[in-house]
Amino acid sequence: MGVFPEQRVSVITVGVRDLAGMIRFYTDVLGFEDRGVKGEVAFFNAGGMVIGLWDETKLAADAGVADDRKGAFKGFALAFNARSTDEVDEIFSRLGRAGAQISKPPHKTYWGGYSGYFTDPEGNAWEVAHNPFWPIDEAGRVAVPLAKEQ
């Protein structure tokens, strides 16, 4: 048994440099609804969890870590699991028309799925994937099935 009473992620907070610009991208391009929290943070409902955008310097201070980004990759990627490969392609088509930076176009993956990546305006990586092995319920919640014994 782990330290969490339930195994789930509630909030992913992304440290940002330009809050207003990032809110525009997350609402106008990705289609998330800004929940109207005014001030130095923004929150978006994301299918049973929340995405937060907060000034990266304040986030680093709050977390007690150094504010010293090195390189473009931040060591994490957010992901959207699509219901089909066609849905992945349609999302990337919309992203392209919206001017999003496509870092890796959709492609068949080594693990048997279909995936591509884009970055938000501050270089945070997003994956859009179809994983034929993970069911998605009507509400859009993804479930990772128990691995089969080899």
- 46 SS3 class: coil
Query: How is the beta sheet containing 101-108 ordered, strand by strand?
Result: 77-81, 125-130, 114-119, 101-108
pLDDT tens digits along 13-43: 898 989 999 999 999 999 998 887 777 888 8
Residue given tokens 């992620």 in the structure block: 9
Measured CA to CA, the distance from residue 116 to residue 93 in angstroms comes to 12
DSSP at 25: I
| Domain spanning 9-62, CATH class | alpha beta
Contact 22, 122 (CB under 8 A): yes
pLDDT tens digits along 32-72: 988 877 778 888 988 888 898 988 888 877 767 667 766 66
State the DSSP H helix or E strand holding residue 51, giving kind and residue range, or none if neither.
Answer: strand 50-55
DSSP at 90: H
CB atoms within 10 A of CB 48: 12
State the DSSP H helix or E strand holding residue 87, giving kind and residue range, or none if neither.
Answer: helix 85-97
Residue 128's Cβ-count burial label (10 Å; 0-12, 13-18, 19+) is buried
Q: Report residue 111's pLDDT band, with 50, 70 and 90 as the boundaries.
A: confident
- The reported pTM is 0.78
Q: Domain map of the chain by residue range?
A: 9-62, 77-150
Domain 77-150 CATH (choose: 3.90.180.10, 3.10.180.10, 1.20.120.1200, 3.50.50.60):
3.10.180.10
| Closest to 143 (Cα-Cα) out of 50, 47, 14, 75 | 47
